[in-house]
Amino acid sequence: MEIEVKYKGEEGIDLFAHPLLAPFLGPLGETPMSAFYYDTPESGCAQAGFALRLRREGPESVCTVKGGGMQDGVARRVEIEEKADTLEQGVQALLNRPDLPESWREALSGPFQEKARMEFCRLSALFSREGLTVELCRDQGCIRAGGKEAPIDEWELELKKGSEEDFDALRRELEKSLGLKGWEKSKFARAMELLA
């Protein structure tokens, strides 16, 4: 289960320097990323309630299926991923997973076509405090879908280890101090808006 919250990249806000987070952050890393989203011609993946993605993270490549919902600005999603150099290799590895939801299997039989692509740079650091580990990221780049483009500029906090209650308390304190609200649109949802 992936648990995360996103915020729009607002002018003048630097969460890496925020006093609530900065003392507990590890070293800052920078990773160039590109993501390609696929679906069947009949939109089988979307109808089954998940997204299919092949993402390059620096030298690594990962194939992922993810689906789920939002509540109070926090995304809680089923996310299953496998290292793979190609979409075909990744889909085969995912189909071999016993934890893949049965309702997703039919759509993963393909064929697939690219629906959207994204290019962005991720700055990230791990926040660690009293058993809570959260990845703090800033993503900046571009979404392309249906011959249109939209910018990517967002912050993300993702729970890596610890309780959801502690994660929730941290993000609420952060939101209160900055007047922020969780942004309920994923990159994929924004790409689908470009196709509409």
Report the distance separating Cα 124 and Cα 98, nearest Å: 31
Average pLDDT of the segment spanning 99-124: 97
What are residue 150's DSSP bridge partners? Answer: 143
H/E segment holding residue 180: none
Q: Judging by beta carbons within 10 Å of its beta carbon (0-12, 13-18, 19+), is residue 149 exposed, middle or buried?
A: exposed
Q: Look at the block and give the residue holding tokens 């994660």.
A: 167
pLDDT of 1: 87
Half-sphere exposure of 31 (CA within 13 A, CB side): 18
pLDDT of 51: 98
The 10 Å Cβ neighbour count of residue 177 is: 11
Residue 11 has pLDDT above 80, yes or no: no
Residue 10 has pLDDT above 90, yes or no: no
In this prediction, residue 111 has a pLDDT band, given cuts at 50, 70 and 90, of: very high
Q: Are 75 and 82 in contact (CB under 8 A)?
A: no
pLDDT of 68: 87
* 162-to-131, 135, 165, 166, 182 alpha-carbon distances in Å: 6, 12, 9, 7, 20
pLDDT of 70: 84
pLDDT of 71: 84
Count how many domains the chain has. 1
pLDDT in tens, 24-76: 999 999 999 999 999 999 999 999 999 999 999 989 999 999 998 888 889 99
Q: Which domain holds residue 124?
A: 2-195
pLDDT in tens, 112-162: 999 999 999 999 999 999 999 999 999 999 999 999 999 999 999 999 999
Report the distance separating Cα 156 and Cα 158, nearest Å: 6
Residue 8 belongs to domain with CATH number? 2.40.320.10
Q: CA 21: distance to chain centroid?
A: 21
pLDDT of 29: 98
* 26-to-22, 124, 140 alpha-carbon distances in Å: 9, 9, 20
